[in-house]
Every structure is written in C-alpha cells, then in structure tokens.
Amino acid sequence: MRKIFLVVATTATALLIGAGAAQAQKYAVIDSEYILHKMPKYRLAQEQVDKLAAEYQKEVDDLYKKVDDMFRTFQAEKMLLTEDMKRRREGEIVAKEKEAKELQRTYFGPDGALFKKREELLKPVQDMLFNGVKDIAAEGGYAVIFDAANNPSLIYINPRYDKSDDVLKRLGF
C-alpha cells in the first residue's frame, strides 16, 4: 500500500514539476505541525482538549471499575444466590457494562463530545493557518504548497523551499 502511495505521489510530483517547467510554476513546502506548535492559541486549545479527554477517560474508567467491582462481588456471592438472583445480578452487570460502553462512545466516538470540542477549539486555529498559507501562496506566486508534516512521500526537502517561518511571520508569531 505504501509503495502504491509513493508511486502515485512521485508520479503526481513529476507531473507537477513537468507542467511547472513548461509554465515556470513555483512550489514550496510548509510544516503545519511546526507552525501550529508555535501558535499559543493552538497550544492552549490542545491543552483544553487534552484536559477534557482526561476527564472523560476518568469518568469512563470509573464506570468500568464499577462493572468490575460488581462482577467480583457477584463471583464471590454466586454460590449463595438463587437462580433468580443470579440472573438479576448478571442482568445488572450487563446493563452497567452497556452503560459504560455507551458513555465511552458518547465521549470518544466519531461524533462524540471530544471530537466536537476538538473541532470547536482547533478549527479556528487551523483556519488561521490555512489563510496564512493561502496568503503566502498568492504573494509568492506558488502553484502548490506541500505540507511536510506526517507526509511519508516527501523524503527530502531543501530548506530553501520551506516557507513555515514565513507563514508564522504572516500570522504574527
């Protein structure tokens, strides 16, 4: 899979460079992670998200601990219970475990509270970054600006083409 991605990325880059040579297109690179970590708003938002995630995780862990405690108590008392009492207790344990899983999904699922909070706090900062990159691209006449952050297809980048610091200056950092 990675080889296919690398071949596609290399082919796309070659086409862009080939097309660029015909029309003298310019390209540059940024490192969005580097830029974001230099932005105080991003660090503050990330800290808030991390704090909220820890609170949510503690709440979920506490509920799972309750399930575990209920199960251990059930195991210890199992021999003394009637069949009806066993079924009732097992049902309570299953219901509590289902509640814990639902809470976990509510907080950490794809449309969970943490995802929504992360989007609410980080999206404005990411939009600011995008607008800064767009301004640098327009000013410098760049046809393409690649993001080197977490990009396995960019093996080497000449620092001369890295415009991360220019974006930071543009954003006032």
Q: What are the counts of helices (DSSP H) followed by strands (DSSP E) for the chain? A: 6, 2
The rounded distance, in Å, linking the Cα atoms of 81 and 77 is 7
Convert the pLDDT of each residue in 99-113 to its tens digit: 999 999 999 999 999
The rounded distance, in Å, linking the Cα atoms of 153 and 9 is 6
The rounded distance, in Å, linking the Cα atoms of 136 and 91 is 61
pLDDT, mean over the chain: 87
pLDDT, residue 6, reads 37
Specify whether the CB–CB gap between 160 and 152 falls below 8 A: no
Convert the pLDDT of each residue in 43-85 to its tens digit: 999 999 999 999 999 999 999 999 999 999 999 999 999 999 9
Query: Facing residues of 162 across strands?
Result: 29
What's this model's pTM, rounded to 2 decimal places?
Answer: 0.70
Convert the pLDDT of each residue in 130-172 to its tens digit: 999 999 999 999 899 999 888 878 778 888 888 999 999 988 8
Neighbour tally for 82: CB within 10 Å:
8
